[in-house]
Structure 1
């Protein structure tokens, strides 16, 4: 188990919240399947399966799971059924329903078909580090992370959660690294990058699995482009892609990290071991990254 994407938030360090207290707060938002008349349902579910605590705690680190159940009701099906109904009405009343009547007809058809809609479930994992003050959502985009944050803020009274803010612009910092062809200590530049023009054209050039030639990137920077996305490796242990919003994507633990994993065979022990390894490594990675960005911005 290793998060693939990191949407990063800040808590006070240390954050005075126990696993039991957090689980108690989340109980009122525990996941239950959507009813026949509901299109969407969200709630918390144990990362370790039925009957386990909503907050899984290992060495003072917390793991949560937000489950979303959404019913799929294709617009094509609604339109087909509504069109057939409209044909019947036209035969009965001698004229076809107008725009408003068709809109209302489609709404009624959707309500009728909803109980037969196919439910699809998805889950988003959340790591909370009360010791170092991190809250990280394993989501590729901010929309899913926002769903998590909104529910948490409703459940936990006055939760002091904030977005991560740093002293220096990530775009300016990444551009500087490319221009110097050197990342700060502990980081190396990999083979993916995106440079975007700052003018009205918003022209951009992307590198994918391509050696970043310093002369080439400097030429683009001199022409007014800035780095908005950059692939990096941290301490030869974790590779990732950093974007302009400080989101971390495409996280991959490297072989040297996997080799250090303890050899446990019980599924529960392996899960806890993996979570402990991940949380320990990512906490240090985030600390080093913030330092590379000039430290955290003061309120």
Structure 2
């Protein structure tokens, strides 16, 4: 299910599952053509479903991306070799425009022979909370999925989810003082420590006792926690990042206990989706509460405008 969760606030409504599935059909994933460097699209997510509904609240899609692996360094080297050969034959250096044309020729020639790499990840739309959860390892990849969702629906305004309190403040307090930790939460075995100014390097600790004297000394020296492994009892473990990204999500085995085992891939996916996605959303909601609640950039801008008009 979700290995990561990048959380976005949607500022527009979504169509229902059936309508969204029809819209996704217009943006189906297909492999790159010989002259294409990249293709993105939607793939079936469960059986032959383009959109898989969960608990009448979540709409789950599968984003697919394929790219041709043609390193810029390889193109540059080939261009330089051909440019040198032409300059030797003509006895004069190539002009900048000629080198650009040569570069385009090399790229077009090598691209069809480049190896292809395909990746997939899930996107879950929480229609009640207005969230979009993207199982991407980076914001850049998540933005590709959001761009495709925007193209699919016709319009979509989203912003990264923001909270009133900074995640670094909460993580630093939890790391420094056990009494500060919320009930039902415990520390894992990894953290990342930075100086407030950012000019003293980053300390990454893995598979360590986070209550050790060494970690505490770094905190006493003024470092703050920018990533922290935590676990919500009987729900899941994750690494919380300073931008509210959830990485290395691992669901607790207790979530799947009692579920009917199935050899059918679609049924197994449906079972996991109904157990894991609501649990993930509930943990996110709890984290937001611990961080002082969500703040909306749109609402704040509107309030600011009203205040200015009143003034």
TM over 0.5: yes
How has the CA–CA distance of structure 1 residues 44 and 267 changed in structure 2, closer, same or farther, with 3 Å as cutoff? closer
Aligned-partner Cα distance in 2 for 1:140–1:258:
24
1:63 aligned residue: 60
Query: Cα 1:87–1:178, aligned 2, differ >3 Å: closer, same or farther?
Result: closer
Tell which deviates more after alignment, 108-117 or 231-240: 108-117
Which of 177, 181, 191 in structure 2 is aligned with 1:180?
177
Q: Measured at CA, do residues 176 and 77 of structure 1 come closer, stay the same or move farther in structure 2, by a change above 3 Å?
A: closer
Distance in 1, matches of 2:229 and 2:18, equals 38
2:286 to 282, 288, 291: 288
Moved over 4 A (4+): none
Q: Distance in 1 between matches of 2:54 and 2:79?
A: 53
CA RMSD of aligned residues (A): 2.5
Distance 2:76 2:199 in 1: 40
Aligned residue for 1:9? 8
158 and 39 in structure 1: CA distance in 2 versus 1, 3 angstrom threshold:
closer
**Change in CA separation of 1:158 and 1:264 when aligned onto 2, cut-off 3 Å:** same
**For 2:49 and 2:243, how far apart are their aligned partners in 1?**
33
Matches within 5 A, 1:1-299: 2-11=1-10, 17-48=15-46, 52-60=48-56, 61-75=58-72, 77-79=74-76, 81-86=78-83, 88-98=85-95, 100-159=97-156, 161-182=158-179, 183-199=181-197, 201-213=199-211, 215-298=213-296, 299=299
Which range moves more in the overlay, 95-104 or 237-246?
95-104
Alpha carbons of structure 1 residues 168 and 88: separation in structure 2 relative to 1, 3 Å? closer
Unmatched 5+ stretches in structure 2: 300-311
Q: Deviations over 1:220-275 (max 9, x none)?
A: 23322111110001123311100100000001123323434332232221111111
What is the SS of the residue equivalent to 1:151? helix
- 16-25 or 168-177, which moves further after superposition? 16-25
Separation in 2, partners of 1:232, 1:214: 16
Is the partner of 1:171 in helix, strand or coil?
A: helix
Mapped partners of 1:22, 1:153: distance in 2: 12
Cα 1:104–1:124, aligned 2, differ >3 Å: closer, same or farther?
same
SS of 1:259's partner is: coil
Post-superposition CA distance 1:23-43 (Å, at most 9, x none): 233333222333222211211
How has the CA–CA distance of structure 1 residues 97 and 43 changed in structure 2, closer, same or farther, with 3 Å as cutoff? Answer: same
Residues 229 and 129 of structure 1: CA distance in aligned 2, closer, same or farther (over 3 Å): same
Task: Provide the secondary structure at the position in 1 that maps to 2:238.
Answer: strand
